[in-house]
Amino acid sequence: MRAERAHVAGLYARLDAERERVRAEYQAALGGNDLGAMERDVRVRALSREVRRLDVVDNGLCFGRLDAVSGERSYIGRIGLFDEDRDHEPVLLDWRAPAARPFYTATGANPEGMRRRRQFHTHRRDVVDFTDEDLGRPGGDASGDAALLAAVNAPRGEGMRDIVATIQAEQDEIIRLDHPGVLVIEGGPGTGKTVVALHRVAYLLYTQRERMERHGALVVGPNPAFLNHIGRVLPSLGETDVVFTTTGDLVPGLHVTAEDGPEAARLKGSRKILDVLAAAIADRQRLPAEPVEIQLRDATVRIDAATAEWARQEARDSGQPHNEARAVFADIVTYVLTERAMKRIAQGWLSRDDREEWERFRAELVKDLNADAVFTRALDELWPILTPETLLAQLYSSPERLRAAGGDPVLARAEGDAWTVSDVPLLDELVDLLGRDLAAEKAAERAAERERKAKAAYAADVLDNLIEREDVDEDVGLIAKDLLFGEELADRFVETDTRTLVERASADRDWTYRHVVVDEAQELSEMDWRVLMRRCPGRSFTVVGDLAQRRSEAGARSWGAMLDPYVPGRWVYRSLTVNYRTPAEIMSVAAAVLAGFAPDVRPPESVRACGVPPWARRVTDDEVAAAVAEFTDAEAGREGTSVVIGPPGVPGAVPASETKGLEYDAVLVVDPDRILADGPRGAAELYVALTRATQRLGVLHRGPLPPELAGLAAAPVPVP
């Protein structure tokens, strides 16, 4: 023990020294002027990433040791550390390194050249204990199982913990799977599919660092509480270049949590809504009801329906998005009007043969036309510049527009911009369908160029003043001006972009990721998948879910239905079958609920029992609040976490949908009959609620206990 403590203390000393070195380089890079602005940004970001990586691995830096039959000894940890004085020899193996894999996969029957596996139990920086597992004989030491059981039996904290020290062989195979496309991981409650997916991201960021580090990875979860729960796992593994988001946050600037009713969500989630969006855009490309008269020099010209129809067809045939195709529409209308004006104005004094004069006169008319308020207003009415928010809000709030676009009346609402989660993929789709406002972009570019020139002029003045100062040698000033021109000096005034990858990616709708993790993927609609596929052109995904837990009417009924349109033949399926979270006593109750609504689905097998039977207690309406308070008071005195799950109106309760992917030491489910009765997916909601507990489960019911819960004690018992 003394030797191991001394060795781990030495590893921490190396970590601290490396931190100080990198921090010093980072501070120097922030203030350095020896590089151009772009090179400086690249270096600052790289060092910032390294600072964060070293700062988050303090807890449990080294968690194990492998002893090979050959006598070689390797320490396993969260990151790799090296001895610079001994030809960069590793003193701590990163858990993702190929040489570390036997730590997770070696067994007594297949030791993989290993003699012993040692697992450290640490508190902060100290080794408090360790267990050894002999790998030289089949069916030998079971201390590896002891380490696993100690981890799964430990009280839960505020967030999900990594499993880097106790990854099981079934999980390790999935984490390290070499597949370039989409990997679907399906597993019932408690099988660890989420944490396996997160460790897989960490593994890919390690093995494909050069390919992934400039673009990072995206993790999509069902709600903010879930993201907060899992948010510490990847940083604890030394990876911070990962964006965490919900589907309601996929469009920068929007944070949406409200949900539609089942039918509206189903309609918006279907790819058929694309026809409605296309028709809504086409409906805004109008023809004038009456000719629009415009005075152009000495001639009156008109935008009539025939002219607008020709221009509209040309614009549509261009294949450009709506806003960008407006230029085509305007060009055709402009051509027709100027032709008509020229025939009337120039007839008799300007020959068609005088092409140069003819084009000069046309250019003058075009300039006059573009400055004409009536013409500009007509363009805005016939082919308006649209934003996704404007188009969709006006579609929802106008029954006439909704009807013209072929939309279902159930989509109508008084407040068109009262966004729901199901609207987000539609808004994202419209970004591409509508395209950019080119005129606004050109104006912004001109403003930026004016600002750059102003900075360059200011920098040139600085140099001139330097030369003219009496206390500066003239030759020195002239040399400075020769070496550093105004525009180059202006670059020094450009503020270094020190935003992290996560900050830059989160703010950029067009950012693309190298890998995407989708958790609770059974809830995503066809339209949600279109958004995610745009975010990852390489189609590298880890998809995590359980079809039996689907609650959304727009969600997946099969993985193939969602994935085949995008990655036919490029997705593989793996399942997790062992339940590490839910004890056998609770899982037997949940399994009965599962059998009622998904009889073909086999529940995961619990790896342990907790010794505490789940209970049920019947209460009256007047007793509910007191019974809930009794539960919460009792749990407040215990180590760990607890939650009350129930339908609306239950004091202190949260809906089951908000606990998906989460886990608690103790769970109290209130009014299970009302949960079952709440819509077509009520049974799946109850299944989710029952499987959140890791130690203790109680049920309060006012009516008769649902037959699905017959495995609970039906007689009134006091709350433990």
Say if residue 130 is in the same domain as residue 231.
Answer: no
Do 373 and 284 fall within a single domain? Answer: yes
Q: Is the pLDDT of residue 557 over 60?
A: yes
pLDDT value for 720: 47
Query: Angle at the Cα of 204 (from 203 to 210), degrees rounded to 5?
Result: 125
Among the listed residues 236, 171, 199, 228, the one whose alpha carbon sits nearest the alpha carbon of residue 515? 199
307 annotated as belonging to a binding site for a ligand: no
Neighbours of 416 (CB within 10 A): 19
Same domain, yes or no, for 224 and 300?
no
The token duo for 253 is 């600037």
Q: Do residues 65 and 75 make contact, with C-beta atoms less than 8 angstroms apart?
A: yes
Q: What is the mean pLDDT of residues 275-288?
A: 98
Q: Give a yes or no: residue 257 inside a domain.
A: no
Residue 694, annotated as binding a ligand: no
- Residue 47 and residue 54: Cα distance in Å, rounded? 11
Extract long-range pairs of 340-344: CB within 8 Å, 24+ residues apart.
340/299, 340/301, 341/296, 341/297, 341/299, 341/301, 341/365, 344/298, 344/299
Specify whether the CB–CB gap between 44 and 494 falls below 8 A: no
DSSP codes of every residue in 164-227? TTT--HHHHHHHT---SSEEEEEE-TTS-HHHHHHHHHHHHHHHTHHHHTTT-EEEEESSHHHH
The angle at the Cα of 535, spanning 529 to 537, to the nearest 5 degrees, equals: 95
> Would you say the C-alpha torsion 416, 417, 421, 422 has a positive or negative sign?
positive
Question: 588: closest CA among 574, 605, 575, 576?
Answer: 605
Q: In this model, does residue 460 exceed pLDDT 90? A: no
Is the pLDDT at 514 greater than 80? The verdict is yes
Domain boundary among 559, 576, 593: 576
Please report whether residue 173 resides in a domain: no
pLDDT given for residue 679 in this prediction: 67
| Residue 717, pLDDT score | 46
> Residue 194, annotated ligand binder?
yes
Percent of the chain with pLDDT over 70: 87
What is the per-residue pLDDT for 244?
A: 96
Per-residue pLDDT band for 715 (boundaries 50, 70, 90) equals very low
Tell whether the model's pLDDT for residue 498 goes beyond 80.
no
CATH number at residue 705: 3.40.50.300
Better pLDDT: 664 or 473: 664
Which range has highest mean pLDDT (155-169, 381-395, 706-720)?
381-395
In a domain, 259, yes or no: no
Q: Find out whether 191 is annotated in a ligand binding site.
A: yes
Is 453 annotated among the ligand-binding residues? no
pTM of the model: 0.86
Question: For residue 34, what pLDDT is reported?
Answer: 65
pLDDT-based confidence at 149, cuts 50/70/90? confident
Six token digits for residue 635: 């749990």
- Among residues 137, 154, 171, which one ends one of the domains? 154
Q: Please tell me the distance from the alpha carbon of residue 130 to that of residue 139, in angstroms, as a whole number.
A: 20
Residue 355 has what pLDDT? 74
By residue range, what is the domain housing residue 191? 182-251+511-576
Classify residue 166: in a domain, yes or no: no
| 71 in a labelled binding site | no
Do 313 and 410 lie in a common domain?
yes
d(CA 83, CA 80): 10
* CA proximity to 544, closest of 207, 219, 265: 219
Q: Taking 90 as the threshold, does the pLDDT of residue 511 lie above it? A: yes
Beta carbons of 548 and 520 less than 8 angstroms apart: no
pLDDT tens readout for residues 291-318:
999 999 888 999 999 999 999 999 999 9
- Residue 167 included in any domain: no
Q: Are residues 222 and 282 in the same domain?
A: no
pLDDT at 166: 85
CA distance 617 to 632: 15
Task: Looking at the structure, tell me whether residues 637 and 671 fall in a common domain.
Answer: yes
Q: Is 409 annotated as belonging to a binding site? A: no
pLDDT of 456 reads 62
Per-residue pLDDT at 636 exceeds 80 = yes
Give residue 104's identity as a one-letter amino acid code.
Y
pLDDT of 716 strictly over 50: no
Q: What is the pLDDT of residues 601-628, one digit of tens each?
A: 999 999 899 999 999 999 999 999 999 9
pLDDT band at 18 (very low <50, low <70, confident <90, very high): very high
| Res 554: pLDDT | 95
Which of 545, 576, 607 represents a domain boundary (last residue)?
576
Give CA–CA dist 515/200, Å, rounded. Answer: 10
Please state, as a whole number, how many other Cβ atoms lie within 10 Å of the Cβ of residue 510. Answer: 9
Q: Say if 285 falls within a structural domain.
A: yes
Contact predicate 699/616, CB 8 Å: yes
| Chain centroid, CA 263 distance in Å | 26
- One domain, residues 276 and 397: yes
Residue 258 pLDDT exceeds 70: yes
State the residue for tokens 């005195």: 637
Does position 466 have pLDDT exceeding 80, yes or no?
A: no
Report if residue 33 sits inside a domain: yes
Q: Work out the mean pLDDT of the chain and round it to a whole number.
A: 89
The larger pLDDT score, comparing residue 540 to residue 720, is at 540
Dist CA 57 CA 438 (whole Å): 47
For residues 383 and 424, membership in a common domain is answered with yes
Per-residue pLDDT band for 555 (boundaries 50, 70, 90) equals: very high
**Tens digit of each residue's pLDDT (9 = 90 or more) over 161-210:** 888 888 999 999 999 999 999 999 999 999 999 999 999 999 999 999 88
Residues 503 and 598 in one domain: no
Q: What is the DSSP letter of 299?
A: E
For the chain, state the CA radius of gyration: 33
Whether residues 245 and 269 share a domain: the answer is no
Total domains in the fold of the chain: 5
Cα–Cα dist 448/273, whole Å: 39
Query: Residue 107: pLDDT above 80?
Result: yes
Q: From residue 616, how far is each of 452, 483, 567, 675, 712 by CA, in Å? A: 71, 83, 47, 16, 6
Least confident of 69-83, 381-395, 479-493, 658-672: 479-493
What pLDDT is recorded for position 160?
A: 85
| Residue 672 is assigned to a ligand binding site | no
Residue 341 is assigned to a structural domain of this protein: yes
394 lies in the same domain as 532: no
Which residues share a beta bridge with 114? 68
Rounded distance between C-alpha atoms, residue 474 and residue 245, angstroms: 58
Tell me: do 192 and 138 sit in the same domain: no
Residue predicted with more confidence, 156 or 502: 502
Q: Which residues pair with 668 in a beta bridge?
A: 644, 698
For residues 113-122, average pLDDT = 93
